[in-house]
Structure 1
Amino acid sequence: MKFEITLKKNTEMNIPNLMKQWELSDFGLNNLKLNTVPVPTPGPKEVLVKTAAVSLNYRDHLVTSNGMGMPLAFPFVPASDMSGAVVKIGSRVSRFKINDKVISTNIAGWIEGPAPSPDIAPSLGGMGPGVLAEYVCLPEDWLSLAPKNLSPVESATLPCAGLTAWMAVFEKGKLKSNETLVVQGTGGVSLFAAQFAFSIGANILLTSSSDDKINRAKSLGISAGINRFNNEDWHHNVSQLTSGRGADLIIEMAGSENLQKSLDAVAQEGRIAIVGVLEAADATLPIFKVLSKRSSLLGIGVGSRKSLEAMCSYIDLHEIRPVIDAIYRFEDSPKAFDHLKRGAFGKVVIEIQ
């Protein structure tokens, strides 16, 4: 009996009745407030996670600003990507035990195979629950074990940015070691993509509006950088740097006219992985050029839990460390959102003590 009492105390101690979480009362960062709420209790097949860190994606800025067209219910908890430790489990939980280090999946319930409808598998921090809180209660299927070699702050960067880059470079983009990749900008997805490409020995070109960021990125294995402000027709530089062949795979981040330049820069039968639309959501493409180049346009929308688990194993195997630009305290979360809006070199992370 004494052993059973001690075990219960060790596995469920230090769980308070109340916790802090950030909530939006309406759209706009000025409406983001730190509130006190009850700590949730896990139901059947649910686990309670003590949050260690939350990483921000540009989508989080858009959601807090205008909801991205989603009918959000207020109060709304933002952010989708977290790491933490399991501190309590509900009945019929089979995937995790107390103290397991876990990360969230960005799209809830997408286990494997083709992407399901958002009605079935909503994204966290959108139509699904947000994670910017001291404790998060989620179905066990919505979580994955964190990589063994990364810190909680590093692990929190993986569910969206890391997995999006993984899908763009490997699972959808099929990059090979003898090919050339172009990454655009120095945000989390682009730098993860560069690291994945470097791990197989591919040639990596980077476009950025900052010479300083280009120089910083060279430590990640970048072969050459192109300042797109000084070279608006950056696709010509790609052609020169590849002896006229063009890039085999391009990570498209901007949309609009930039997508046309990516089409000019891509090699015959090359691939353009469309990840972001930072400049505009619409684009007009010369269809004849798409046909004549036999190029493929790949829409990338994060990935399944199975892909996340494969990526985590790969990161452990190749000792890849996420690039983190800044770490903010939990109580300074609005400052982290401001940093995100300004632009970051890699990831912005909120650490929860």
Structure 2
Amino acid sequence: MPISTKQSRAFGIDKATGISGLSIRTNSIPTPAPGEVLVRVRASSLNYRDLIILGGNYYMPISPSRVPLSDGAGEVVAVGQGVTRFKTGDRVTNSFFPEWIDGPFTGKYSQYSGDVDGWLADYRAVAAEALILIPDSLDFDEAATLPCAGVTAWSAVKDVGAGDTVVTLGTGGVSLFALQLAKAMGAKVIATTSSDTKAQQLKTLGADETINYKEHADWSKQVRELTGGNGANRIVEVGGAGTFEQSIKAIAVGGQVSIVGAVAGLEGQVDFMSMFMSHARYHCIALGSRQDLEDLARFIAEHKIRPVIDSRFGFDEATLAFERLMTRNIFGKVVVIH
């Protein structure tokens, strides 16, 4: 059956009221415009950002019926006029910001599931410049975890050196990617977690040391002890205000706290003198460009890294994927198979 006679399913955000605001609809398959390719989406993945959007708490307004999810992977099934970057049959994944190709972050880019439709659909017509080829070593579900969590972790640790100590917080997608990448760079990794079971999983993945933050609320003290009093050279700070004070106390003089997210809350206090005396760099991570995504994909292929997937759900079960992420009791990425 020709592509033009088929229909494409997609979820849309009817109301920003949580999962109840999602509904599925059927539309005609789009035709790629000049400069675009048509992608048959094979997998998409969820991020904490998606829960914020569904809850109506995102910093930018979300248009009615917006298709959610910023991360997808699939195969090119049609090519628009003028496209030479890809051909039919190529396996691709997307850059989070379609227009950010390379260079410093300007903030002047559109973003999937924000001001343009995301990837929780059967087909997407997108600019060819926003996509990269998937490494042969990755399946579609693994590739779909790269655009947000993978690139964020890459940007947070990409200049870590061999022998450095890196601290990761928890077992979400960014933290696990950061652990895997840092280990491949030759770093020592200290990972915080909430349970002994997850601690063992983290060690299996490569963590050198783990700290149970429920038992050690002041986990910065343990970081200091494990580093001979020096502190960590890099901290991948995904918690936000809820964990930032501990990161300040745990960072080494001249180290870097890569500020990634706020999954531990938005309210908190900053010990200014500790922050000042650390002489550390506090670097806000804005994901990364398409070039960062390409660099990440190359590094993952070279070091045979397999993204960690917590769970997989079928397309019709997409709401269950959101429910799984909402539990926050995950180890890795939550993926939807299309």
TM-score range, shorter chain: over 0.9
Return closer, same or farther for 1:135/1:257 CA change in 2, 3 Å cut-off.
Answer: closer
8 Å CA contact retained: 2:165, 2:187: yes
Pair 1:31 & 2:28 matched:
no
Deviations 1:46-91 (A, max 9, x none): 1100000001001011111115132211111100100000000111
**What is the match of residue 100 of structure 1?**
90
Deviations 1:179-231 (A, max 9, x none): 10000000000000000011122110011112211111111110111000111
Is 1:131 the equivalent of 2:116?
A: no
Matches within 5 A, 1:49-60: 49-60=39-50
1:144 equivalent to 2:132? Answer yes
Equivalent position of 2:304 in the other structure:
319
The DSSP-based 3-state class of the residue aligned with 1:303 is coil
Q: State the 1:123 CA deviation.
A: 1.4
Q: Could you tell me how far apart the structure 2 residues matched to 1:350 and 1:72 are?
A: 22
Contact 1:108–1:142 under 8 Å retained in 2: yes
Say whether the 8 Å CA contact 1:256–1:284 is kept in structure 2. yes
Unaligned runs of 5+ in 1: 1-11
Q: State the distance in 2 between where 1:271 and 1:211 align.
A: 28
Asked if 2 retains the 8 angstrom alpha-carbon contact of 1:267 and 1:293, the reply is yes
Distance 1:337 1:268, change over 3 A: same
**Cα distance between partner residues in 2 of 1:162 and 1:17:** 33
Instruction: Tell me if 1:164 matches 2:149.
Output: no
Distance 1:257 1:133, change over 3 A: closer
State the secondary structure of the residue aligned to 1:216.
helix
Once the 2 structures are TM-superposed, how far is the Cα of residue 17 of structure 1 from its aligned partner?
A: 3.1
| 1:21 matched residue in structure 2 | 10
Stretch moving more, 274-283 or 88-97: 274-283
Task: Report SS of the residue matched to 2:211.
Answer: strand
Offset, 1:283? 4.4
Q: Which residue of 2 aligns with 1:289?
A: 274
Q: Is the 8 A contact 1:40 1:136 kept in 2?
A: yes
Deviation, 1:147, is: 1.5
Matches within 5 A, 1:196-211: 196-211=181-196
Which of residues 54, 66, 69 in structure 1 aligns to 2:59?
69
Residue 111 of structure 1 and its aligned partner are, at CA, apart by 0.2
What does the per-residue CA deviation read over 1:267-316, in whole Å, with 9 as the maximum and x for residues that have no partner?
11111001111123354323332232211101011100011101111111
1:340-351 matches, within 5 Å, as 340-343=325-328, 344-351=330-337
Deviation (angstroms), 1:157: 0.3
What secondary structure sits across from 2:163 in the alignment?
A: coil
Alignment identity in percent?
38
| Residue pair 2:242, 2:267 contacting (<8 A) in 1 also | no
The 1-side partners of 2:214 and 2:140 are apart by 36
Residue 306 (structure 1) aligns with: 291
Question: Is 1:233 aligned to residue 221 of structure 2?
Answer: no
Deviates more, 1:297-306 or 1:68-77: 68-77
Secondary structure class of the residue paired with 2:55: helix
Q: What is the TM-score with the length of structure 1 in the denominator? A: 0.92
Q: Partners in 1 of 2:55 and 2:242 — Cα distance? A: 25
In 1, distance between residues paired with 2:130 and 2:270? 37
Aligned Cα root-mean-square deviation (Å): 1.3
